[in-house]
Amino acid sequence: GENVEQHPSTLSVQEGDSAVIKCTYSDSASNYFPWYKQELGKRPQLIIDIRSNVGEKKDQRIAVTLNKTAKHFSLHITETQPEDSAVYFCAPSRWGYNKLIFGAGTRLAVHP
C-alpha cells in the first residue's frame, strides 16, 4: 500500500525564521500534493496544494515545492509567526481518488 513519511516530526523555530517540512511518498501515480494545517483543538484545513505538472507554488509566506523524480514534496514557511504554530500534514494522492492517506504530522512551534 501507499507509504507516506513526514520529517521532522517536531520543529521548533524562533519567530521570523523559516521552517521546512518534507513529505516522502511511495505511490508513483500520485499527482496531487496538498498540505493541511491543524491548530490545537481545531479541524485540519487545506492551506496549499500543487499538482504534478507544476514544480512550485507560492501563496504569500507559504510555498510548496515538488520533486516528482525523487517522490517528495516540501512545505516552506517564511517569516514564521506564533500563529503558524500547529500540526502540519501532507496527503499525497491521485487527483479525484477516494482515498486520502495522511502523513504522521509535523508539530511546528514558533517561539516569540
Partner 1 sequence: DTAVSQTPKYLVTQMGNDKSIKCEQNLGHDTMYWYKQDSKKFLKIMFSYNNKELIINETVPNRFSPKSPDKAHLNLHINSLELGDSAVYFCASSHRDRGSEAFFGQGTRLTVV
**Would you say 68 or 102 has its CB closer to partner 1?**
102
* 62: enclosing H helix or E strand: strand 62-67
Residue closest to 64 by CA, chosen among 73, 53, 72: 73
Length of the chain, in residues = 112
**Would you say 42 or 111 has its CB closer to partner 1?**
42
Instruction: Using CB under 8 A, list all residues that contact partner 1.
Output: 32, 34, 36, 38, 42-46, 49, 87, 89, 91, 93-102, 104-105, 107
Cα separation, 24 vs 95, in Å, equals 17
**Would you say 32 or 78 has its CB closer to partner 1?**
32
CB 89, min distance to partner 1, A: 6
